[in-house]
Amino acid sequence: MMGGMMSIERHLLSGNEALAFAARQAGVSLGTGYPGTPSSEILEQFGILGGRAQWAPNEKVALEVGIGVAFARGRALVTMKHVGLNVAADPFFSAAFTGVDGALVIVVADDPGMSSSQNEQDSRRFALAAGVPMLEPSDSQEAYDLMREALSLSEQWHSPVLLRITTRVCHSKTAVTFRNDARPMPATAFTRNIQEKVMIPAHARPAHRRLRERLKAIQAWNEASSLNRRIGEGNALGIITSGVAFAHAREAVITGSAGIPAGSYAAITQKQTDRSDRSDPSDSAGASSVSFFKIGMTYPLPLERLREFAASVDRCIVIEEGDPYLVESLRMAGIAVEDKPEAFRFGELNVDRVRRILAGDLTPETPRTGAKPPELCAGCPHRMTFTTLDRLNCIVSGDIGCYTLGALPPFEAMDSQLCMGASIGIGLGLRHTLRDEEARRVVSVIGDSTFFHSGLTGLAEMVYNPPRSGHILLILDNGTTAMTGLQEHPGTGHALNHRSAATQILPENLARAMGVPNVHVVEYGRALEEALEVAMRKDELTVIVMRQPCRLNVKKPATCEPENGND
């Protein structure tokens, strides 16, 4: 398979697929992560290509495994969605201090517009906060190129590298040309360096100084790097941009709009993929009045080149999706740039919205229509669960998964949902605070994948600090991570490729081992109702596992075994 991939051909790939191909060809020794839209396909594809790919119980563990790989001079790929980086933030910040011996690339996939997320979060701020270099692709070719670049940079600077990508780039397909220089897996070895790898205060203080020195050096390197480029010669309008916003802005300029000076077409279309600093003036025949500064490495920023660019144009505007990250960084450096109006901070950008920004058009946007509201599938076992919870008038402290749809009509039987694992702690807080008759109605409801992701510590809290009225934890075990596309997890007994057997961990065994006095496994609505009624009357802790397979989780074809085994 790898042999076929090596020819110089063009392939139509999604950004996620392109990342996987690049990681495989560049000798990534291990890929790990936790599923989450829009990132999930990266690891699955990496596994299909024969890479060693595995799901971790959560993003923090995934990153820690990745750090271990990179401490052993391996090349590690760690994937997650934006909120996953919140979970992994602890090792993320400290890995910037320790640095790595091999390569560590963390792919974080942001979801502007929240097509499938509980919040809208711009992960670029994490790179700045932690001091981790960041690259941002704007299409699949760049996803491919920047993954390879990120691995090299990580090895060169001994630093983790953040590859930040967004929904449109993850899922849109564009042509990718492979490079014909596959890199073999690195020779691994562990080098003892207690001062650099053991972060006690005495070691962390110099580590912080090393980090800041390293960032200065990377910034100086980035000033001259070809990852950032000026496109076009025009000096009437200059657009500073990165990621998918570049693609939208380029199209807006090509197709024209109010706010874009006439004659801007030529240079932008002719040399849009040119990697050189400036397109050949003969191409534009002097007709172009617009130029772009497209940033590939968005932290640390090449501020001097950006300053030069801004000074070379009459009007300089930043087109970026999400937070005003670039705008704030540029203004902090004393570079005067125009901002987008606040309304465009929300949701995804598109060509029409970029036209509005360029034209200063603040007329109300037409809301998106026609989208079918999500609902639980016909025959989904979560349906009987929420019918039962509703019938018993439970106060449901919910969690994230398909079952969150129990909050919508016709069920409307979930009362809170914030982030993965929160159902248990919030349920306990409610129980501690409400009057007895109300407290007894509180039930924490969590899916099986979510339970392994971040429910275990909540369960420990429940046993350690039980409310006076006891508490009920209901685990909805449908045997898969349904919400994000039916991935395996530690409770399914299967590894990422659906084939290799893994030791199956049963939630009921964990609950018993943690000392929960009442543990029941039920399969049907009636049995669930009875178990809940009994538990609600008791002043004790109860864990109920509702075990009914997801109807979509038919036996999945096993994907290929990694070359170096994954059992």
Ligand X SMILES: Cc1ncc(C[n+]2csc(CCOP(=O)(O)OP(=O)(O)O)c2C)c(N)n1
- Residues at the contact surface with ligand X, assessed by CB under 6 A: 34-36, 59, 81, 83-84, 87, 118, 400-403, 420, 447-450, 478, 480-484
Which residue lies nearer to ligand X by CB, 36 or 525?
Answer: 36
- The least distance separating ligand X from the CB of residue 132, rounded to whole angstroms, comes to 19
H-only helix segments in 271-401:
281-284, 303-311, 325-332, 351-359, 381-391
Which residue lies nearer to ligand X by CB, 28 or 446?
Answer: 446
Which residue lies nearer to ligand X by CB, 62 or 67?
Answer: 62
Query: Pairing state of beta strands 290-295 and 161-166?
Result: unpaired
Give the helix/strand (H/E) hosting 175: strand 173-177
CA dihedral over 195, 201, 204, 206, signed as positive or negative = negative
Give the residue from 214, 215, 230, 363 showing the smallest Cα distance to 284.
230
- The least distance separating ligand X from the CB of residue 4, rounded to whole angstroms, comes to 32
Q: What is the C-alpha separation between 384 and 382, in angstroms, rounded? A: 6
- The least distance separating ligand X from the CB of residue 516, rounded to whole angstroms, comes to 19
- The least distance separating ligand X from the CB of residue 501, rounded to whole angstroms, comes to 20
Q: Are 263 and 289 in contact (CB under 8 A)?
A: yes
Q: Are 350 and 328 in contact (CB under 8 A)?
A: no
Residue, CB closest to ligand X: 447
**Cα atoms in the 13 Å half-sphere on the side-chain side of 22:** 27
Which residue lies nearer to ligand X by CB, 85 or 104?
Answer: 85
Cβ neighbours of 190 (radius 10 Å): 11
- The least distance separating ligand X from the CB of residue 538, rounded to whole angstroms, comes to 26
Angle 348-352-353 from CA coordinates, rounded to 5°:
45
- The least distance separating ligand X from the CB of residue 478, rounded to whole angstroms, comes to 5
- The least distance separating ligand X from the CB of residue 553, rounded to whole angstroms, comes to 9
Which residue lies nearer to ligand X by CB, 138 or 481?
Answer: 481
Which residue lies nearer to ligand X by CB, 316 or 483?
Answer: 483
Which residue lies nearer to ligand X by CB, 75 or 489?
Answer: 489
Q: Are 384 and 551 in contact (CB under 8 A)?
A: no
- The least distance separating ligand X from the CB of residue 28, rounded to whole angstroms, comes to 21
- The least distance separating ligand X from the CB of residue 405, rounded to whole angstroms, comes to 9
Which residue lies nearer to ligand X by CB, 87 or 237?
Answer: 87
DSSP code of 115?
S
- The least distance separating ligand X from the CB of residue 379, rounded to whole angstroms, comes to 14
- The least distance separating ligand X from the CB of residue 535, rounded to whole angstroms, comes to 21
Which residue lies nearer to ligand X by CB, 80 or 266?
Answer: 80
Q: Are 75 and 103 in contact (CB under 8 A)?
A: yes
CA dihedral over 82, 84, 90, 95, signed as positive or negative = negative
Q: What is the C-alpha separation between 159 and 556, in angstroms, rounded? A: 38
Cβ neighbours of 204 (radius 10 Å): 14
Cβ neighbours of 563 (radius 10 Å): 13
Give the helix/strand (H/E) hosting 533: helix 525-537
Cβ neighbours of 49 (radius 10 Å): 22
Which residue lies nearer to ligand X by CB, 105 or 405?
Answer: 405
Which residue lies nearer to ligand X by CB, 350 or 484?
Answer: 484
Q: What is the C-alpha separation between 165 and 80, in angstroms, rounded? A: 10
Q: What is the C-alpha separation between 517 and 542, in angstroms, rounded? A: 7
Give the residue from 505, 380, 515 showing the smallest Cα distance to 459.
515
